[in-house]
Amino acid sequence: HLSHMMAIHPLSLINWEDGEAARTIIRNTIAQLDSIGPGNWMGYTYAWLASLKARAKDGEGAAKALSIFAKAFCSVNSFHLNGDQTSLGYSTAHYRPFTLEGNFAFAAGLQEMLLQSYAGHISIFPAIPESWTTLSFDQLRAEGAFLVSAKMANGIVTTIKIVGEKGGQTRLKLPPGKLNTLSSKGIETTNQEDGFLSINASPGGWILLGSGQ
């Protein structure tokens, strides 16, 4: 259990976006966890660790944690088993009780890698490995009841679609490269000098951003 790290995830009381002091706390806390080692970890520990490393913008570390979870702590039917099923040293436990929260935490960790919105803005692909250069997701839910879809090709974000189910305001952290508004309905936007796009949506309003004209 990583209860001492709940302030980082899922409670979002200490955030990477809060500045260098918060980042130092996050880095040191995760580094201490890694240094102690996984002797008493369970499978769900790795799934939770993926979300923590994603919050630290460590895509490589998050992907490694999820890979270990899938390789060592899942049965052939994908059910999470608490103990290490490979005897490769990922845990001193080797037993097989099934606990469903590990699978849910795996999915949460993957979403944290693809989309984050806990800090008051939407961030696309905030914590992915360098090798993940072509990928996409469809209608992941961000805070404020915004549904977000995005595509990346050759390491460049090519399209982003945001739907405001209930309307309201949010901000999008613009990824590198130029994205134009291809089409929109029931939505107003304002470009900000700090690299964010301010969005004000009516219920059901949507906007499609893309690299095309």
| Distant-in-sequence, close-in-space partners of 129: CB < 8 Å, separation ≥ 6 | 59, 60, 63
Structure tokens at 129: 């490995």
Alpha-carbon distance of 150 to 138, in angstroms, equals: 7
Q: 210 forms bridges with which residues in the sheet?
A: 159, 180
Q: pLDDT tens digit string along 24-51? A: 999 999 999 999 888 889 999 999 999 9
Give the whole-angstrom CA distance, residue 181 versus residue 197: 11
The tens digit of pLDDT for each residue in 152-167 reads 999 999 999 999 999 9
pLDDT at 87: 87
Q: In this structure, which amino acid lies at residue 181?
A: T
Rounded CA separation 15/212 (Å): 34
Q: What is the mean pLDDT of the chain?
A: 94
